[in-house]
Structure 1
Amino acid sequence: MKLAVVGGGSTYTPELIDGFARLRETLPVEELTLIDPAADRLELIGALARRIFARQGHPGRVVTTGDLDAGVADADAVLLQLRVGGQAARQQDETWPLECGCVGQETTGAGGLAKALRTVPVVLDIAERVRGAAPHAWIIDFTNPVGIVTRALLKAGHRAVGLCNVAIGFQRKFAALLDVAPADVHLDHVGLNHLTWELGVRLGGPHGEDVLPKLLAEHGDAVATDLKLPRPLLERLGVVPSYYLRYYYAHDEVVRELREKPSRAAEVAAMERELLALYADPALDTKPELLAKRGGAFYSEAAVALASSLLRGTGDVQVVNAFNNGTLPFLPDDAVIETQATVGADGVTPLPVPALDPLYAGLVADVTAYEDLALDAALRGGRERVFRALLAHPLIGQYAYAETLTDQLIAHNREHLAWA
């Protein structure tokens, strides 16, 4: 079995390598190819990957290359984890929207649109080259904004599934609070990527006992603290929103916080410099503890489980990003939702979900409309399409803000926009 990682020079990659090494019985990788144009960084990560494999007794071969076509050739699965423009572009995404009093964040709002516009054309080009070099390969997309990128891939006919670590993060946290094994926790997880709610927390399987009321009653303070939302709000909702909902439920509070502290991009850039120095140590043969602060917790476990299910046809249930296909009846079939699905060799089939409360369904519908307009802008370009997407976004919505943000987005991203 051959896996290829596009963006293999990312500081995330050792997390992924560690998962491949530990979970080799679940996903027996014979060749792992790391692909990245940054040769020095790629060799650093590749050397560490080989040491991690050796320490854990993994027999697989680690290959590094800057040649995309050669790297993905004959792969069984290709994982996408790229960041067009790097941390410098992320720094911009997180700062210029604040000038209008709007959230500055790399996956939602104006910053998220900027990332989508930079990313979608690049990902589609990669996917076409994968289709030529490895026509039967599955594409697993971890590249943000996952919902929009996955929708672009699926609408272009690619064998693709989107993956996010929010659900597995909740699963692990809830398991620890309930003192049970993570495998015993199943989530009624539904919504869009970075716009989801846990409607139920079930023990033993998708149809097991719902212990969400017990979780909130006994551990509401811990959950609320983790989300930076007040416990009374969670009790009124009766569900657990993802932490991205704080951008909607506490928008002005978040904007004040973001204006008063260094950006997350600046924090991550400093962390990456420290990580790369650690990775250069020839004695290091495990992922360093600092990597846990980088983000993407449990990414490796989720990626291994998804790849294994797709390639081995296990038919188990996982949280993925896939076409709606009637799961949420108020959305188009070709909207991409994030929910539990059966995963097998033929792809993914979302499981039925209960009717969404209008409190959540309305926001999901609004953001889906924005994502439709965002994808149109990413595919066809043009100032007016960018403006329409920004005007539609619930975190923006006012025409004066949309006008200003459109000009700023184009100015800050001109080198990445072929039409600008």
Structure 2
Amino acid sequence: MEMKKGLKIATIGGGSSYTPELIEGFIKRFDELPVSELWLVDIEAGKEKLEIVGTLAKRMVEKAGVPMEIHLTLDRHQALQDADFVTTQMRVGLLDARVKDERIPLELGLIGQETNGAGGLSKALRTIPVLLEIAEEMQELCPNAWLINFTNPAGMVTEALLRYSKHEKVIGVCNVPFNMHMSIAKMLGVDMERVRIDFAGLNHMVFGIHVYVDDQEVTDKVLDMLSNPEIQLTMKNIAPLAWNKTFLKSLGVVPCPYHRYYYKTSTILEEELEAFKSGETRAEIVKKLEDGLFELYKDENLDIKPPQLEQRGGAYYSDAACNVISSIYNDKKDIQVLNVQNKGSLTEIDYDSAVEVSCIVTKNGPIPLTIGKLPVQVLGLVQQIKSFERIGAEAAVSGSYDKALLALTINPLIPSDDLAEAVLQKLLSAHEEYLPQFFTENVLSNIQG
């Protein structure tokens, strides 16, 4: 049998604290996914972290005894040249920008979160132009490579890449459906392989439409269990607020942890404002966690992914990212939940929009399963967030102040147009150095009031 050649993978944002997750994922799959070159790429501002995490990556690979070369570089073109897959895990403006994305909305009494509401839009406005630039470079340097994006807000970012980039091989990944699948299987006391969940919706707005164990539907049982305050389906970065039993039964589908922002808005906001007053927003907690992680990573005796990384909020990200790469490479035809072009999967969302749905993953990429109509009780909210993503992506590409304002007024977490304008002006001014598209003569007057 002819041996397949080793793969070259480029990871943009290689200095991320999440990188050990990715390294672990490639190591444990090496027999089926022979990565011979992994290029970790970052920018000058991330050089120190890249060297720290890159050195840990080399120790991990050496301990595992796999022939994977780890390359550290600030030269993105060199990393992209002839790559087979490209993964992106960037944060434009680093964690200091996230702090602003959370604190500025909270100053105005709005939810501050990096993927939802005003903070989510702010992150997208900085991030989308950079990812479109990377996609353009991929067209030139590695046109056959798949772009696997983990950068948040993944839904809006995937929407922009699919709509405005010539590079068509784009997939958005998220650890939320994987965590939900794993947690529900554990809750039911069965192996993950026996559980199938039909996921449908958008990123951080995805629902488990049906849950099966050995092909027997158990959705009602799962909803009944989730109404128990002792059983929580959540993430490290989201308060484990209990669901109302009657609400869950009426909803009839399994919400994801991020739905608490929409169904428990006032309670979440109260908790965030308390944290804000004490100077302990999630962003500031994450900064402390990161500092601690990088101190750990410096330890020359550390040669595994430290368990403390799971506190960071991105646990099992490697399984989401590495699974899709392996399934494309090996033509597995298994089912995974991915952000892809709709192509009729959800009949009431535009054909060319990005959706997060269960897909069959083949050597030619993911094929979304036909879901059909979303249940009427969740359809409106999904369509509203899709409108927010569409207009937000357009604002990021065009630098249109009007479109950015419109996007915020569409979002259900922004209760008025006046608040939308106030928070938009503050966020644009705070991130001016990362938003050149907004600081041209025709939009400056709006920003300056």
TM-score (norm. length: structure 2): 0.90
Asked whether the 8 Å contact 1:97–1:103 carries over to 2, the reply is yes
Kept in 1: contact 2:139–2:166 (CA 8 A) = no
Q: Tell me which of 26, 36, 61 is aligned to 2:32.
A: 26
Q: Give 1:302 shift.
A: 1.3
Q: What are the equivalent positions in structure 2 for 1:165-244 lying under 5 Å apart?
A: 165-204=175-214, 208-218=215-225, 220-221=227-228, 222-224=230-232, 226=234, 227-232=240-245, 233-244=247-258
**1:338-353, aligned counterparts within 5 Å?**
338-353=356-371
Q: Match of 2:252, as an amino acid?
A: G
Q: What is the aligned partner in structure 2 of residue 110 from structure 1?
A: 118
Q: Deviations over 1:372-392 (max 9, x none)?
A: 110110000122121111111
Contact 2:180–2:233, Cα closer than 8 Å, also in 1: no
| Equivalent in the alignment of 1:77 | 85
- Taking the aligned partners of 2:301 and 2:254, their CA distance within structure 1 comes to 42
Deviations 1:98-145 (A, max 9, x none): 233221100010100000000000111111112211111100000011
Whether contact under 8 Å (2:60, 2:303) holds in the other structure is yes
Q: Find the residue that maps to 1:322 and give its secondary structure.
A: strand
Alignment counterpart, residue 157 of structure 1, candidates 160, 166, 169: 166
Note the residue ranges of structure 2 that are not aligned, 5 or more in a row.
1-6, 235-239, 440-449
Could you list the per-position Cα deviations for residues 11-34 of structure 1 after superposition, in whole angstroms to 9, with x for gaps in the alignment?
A: 000011111111222322111111
Q: Does 1:359 align with 2:377?
A: yes
CA contact (8 A) 2:159 2:389 kept: no
Q: Any conservation in 2 of the 1:192–1:337 contact (CA below 8 Å)? A: yes
Q: Distance in 2 between matches of 1:130 and 1:241?
A: 36
Query: For 1:7, which of 13, 29, 32 is the aligned residue?
Result: 13
Deviation at 1:224, TM superposition (A): 4.1
SS in 2 for 1:314: coil
Q: Distance in 1 between matches of 2:411 and 2:56?
A: 42
1:229–1:246 Cα contact (<8 Å) kept: no
Given that 1:343 and 1:349 are in contact with CA atoms closer than 8 Å, whether structure 2 keeps it comes out as yes
Deviation at 1:231, TM superposition (A): 4.1
Once residues 414 and 126 of structure 1 are traced to their aligned partners in structure 2, the CA distance between those partners, rounded to angstroms, is 21
Indicate the SS of the match to 1:241: coil
Following superposition, the deviation at residue 219 of structure 1 comes to 5.7
Task: Determine the structure 1 residue equivalent to 2:265.
Answer: 251
Once the two structures are TM-superposed, the CA of residue 369 in structure 1 deviates from its matched residue by 0.9
Looking at structure 2, the residues matched to 70 and 398 of structure 1 have their Cα atoms a distance apart, in angstroms, of 47
Aligned to 2:444: none
**1:328 has 2:346 as partner:** yes
Q: Secondary structure at the match of 2:366?
A: strand
Moved more, 23-32 or 366-375: 23-32
Residues 330-361 of structure 1: CA distance to partner in whole angstroms, max 9, x if unpaired?
11112111010111122221101153222210
1:16 to 16, 19, 22: 22
Q: Tell me if 1:40 matches 2:48.
A: yes
Give the Cα–Cα distance (whole angstroms) in 1 for the partners of residues 170 and 339 of structure 2. Answer: 9
> Residue 218 of structure 1: CA displacement?
4.5
Q: Which residue is equivalent to 2:443? A: none
Equivalences for 1:96-135 in 2 at 5 Å?
Answer: 96-135=104-143
The 1-side partners of 2:373 and 2:136 are apart by 37
SS at match of 1:117: helix
CA RMSD of aligned residues (A): 1.5
- Which has the higher mean CA deviation after the structures are superposed, 55-64 or 164-173? 55-64
> CA–CA distance in 2 between the matches of 1:412 and 1:269?
19
> What letter is aligned with 2:404?
V
Cα shift at 1:225: 6.5
Q: TM-score, normalised on structure 1?
A: 0.96
Q: Unpaired segments of 5 or more residues in structure 1?
A: none
Count of aligned pairs: 417
Pairing of 1:243-282 with structure 2 (within 5 A):
243-261=257-275, 262-282=280-300
The CA distance in 2 between the partners of 1:217 and 1:245, in whole Å, is: 17
Instruction: State the secondary structure of the residue aligned to 2:431.
Output: helix
Following the alignment from structure 2 to structure 1, what is the Cα–Cα distance between the partners of residues 52 and 138? 25
Give the Cα–Cα distance (whole angstroms) in 2 for the partners of residues 332 and 219 of structure 1: 32
> Distance between the aligned counterparts of 1:417 and 1:330, measured in 2?
33
Partner-residue secondary structure (3-state), 1:94: helix
Runs of 4+ in structure 1 deviating by more than 3 angstroms, as ranges, are 216-220, 222-227
1:291 corresponds to: 309
- Correspondence 1:374 to 2:383: no
- Letter paired with 2:199: H
Distance 2:87 2:233 in 1: 33
Task: Determine the C-alpha separation between the residues in 1 that align with 2:251 and 2:161.
Answer: 34
| Whole-angstrom distance in 1 between the partners of 2:288 and 2:305 | 18
1:2 CA displacement:
1.1
